[in-house]
Structure 1
């Protein structure tokens, strides 16, 4: 396989690394962090939270949103957003309520359990970053972060579910 080229002394770092390896390595790093996050979240009482749920709960935010707005933020249809809301509501991470300014609108808000999962996620990400710093060295990790900031926009996008879904 093209990603498994290795020397006896460790992973190969060829001078002619193909361009397609960069996005795959970045995605693999993301995947490692997310998988480790979810394993720890499960140990801490949140076994049903899936990677997409984190994007959804971030998109809901502290003020809550309608299903239409949630779909827009995630880049998915209102129906897809509604289905995910239903799942998270069933699991106890969100609740639906009336908009205090317009009784016709239903607002989705995080429950205490939803907020707890996000607070724990933030702490776990800090621990994972510290582990990467021990492996790579703090200076190299800071340089990697600075390099990624230099080539990526400042705005974090939450539309990954829609982007991956097509």
Structure 2
């Protein structure tokens, strides 16, 4: 497939995305996070500073059961804990632990290194133009962490 063909775009985007994520996860594995997968990273981003299980399901675009399964996996890895909500003492929030915060920092740094490498290989102008294009492309009806029908 000719890389300049417009029809190549979805495949090039997917390949670039996969290469970027795989490189970051290789760094995370080397840093002591061997079990973290892309789905875990999306869930951690969706959790942010804290959210309920229902909010996690909504943010990921998955069922409450799927969100609960993901939350349990993150909890087993020591990346999140369940804490009492300041809004309602009966409610529990999923919140990053110190280990979860460390993983997110390492992940962000690894993504930064990968994008810096892209800038070195193809030039700042090309990477900046790509980012601008993607930022202005129609995002569709999903949130940035919703890959629900991909799994």
Shared fold, TM over 0.5: yes
Q: Bigger CA drift: 94-103 or 40-49?
A: 94-103
SS at match of 2:95: strand
Find the counterpart in structure 2 of residue 67 from structure 1: 53
- Pick the aligned partner of 1:35 from 22, 37, 40: 22
Q: Which moved more, 1:140-149 or 1:24-33?
A: 140-149
Q: Which runs of 5+ in 2 are unaligned?
A: none
Cα separation, 2, equivalents of 1:56 and 1:29? 21
Question: What's the RMSD between the two structures over aligned residues?
Answer: 1.8
Deviation at 1:105, TM superposition (A): 1.3
Distance 1:73 1:124 in 2: 24
Cα 1:124–1:156 shift into 2, 3 Å: farther
What does 1:70-149 align with in structure 2 at a 5 Å threshold? Answer: 70-149=56-135
Give the structure 1 partner of residue 45 of structure 2: 58
Q: Does the CA contact (< 8 Å) of 2:43 and 2:60 recur in 1?
A: yes
Q: Runs of 4 or more off by more than 4 Å in structure 1? A: none
Specify every segment of 5 or more residues in structure 1 that has no aligned partner in the other structure, as ranges. 4-11
Distance in 1, Cα, partners of 2:132 & 2:123 = 14
Largest Rg, 1 or 2:
1
User: TM-score under structure 1 normalisation?
Assistant: 0.82
Q: Which residue of 2 aligns with 1:8?
A: none
| Structure with more of its chain in strand, by fraction | 1
Matched residue count = 149
Q: TM-score, normalised by structure 2?
A: 0.90
Q: In the superposition, relative to structure 1, how do residues 29 and 102 fare at CA in structure 2: closer, same or farther (>3 Å)?
A: same
Write the deviation string for residues 13-32 of structure 1: whole angstroms up to 9, x where unpaired. Answer: 46xx262x211110110000
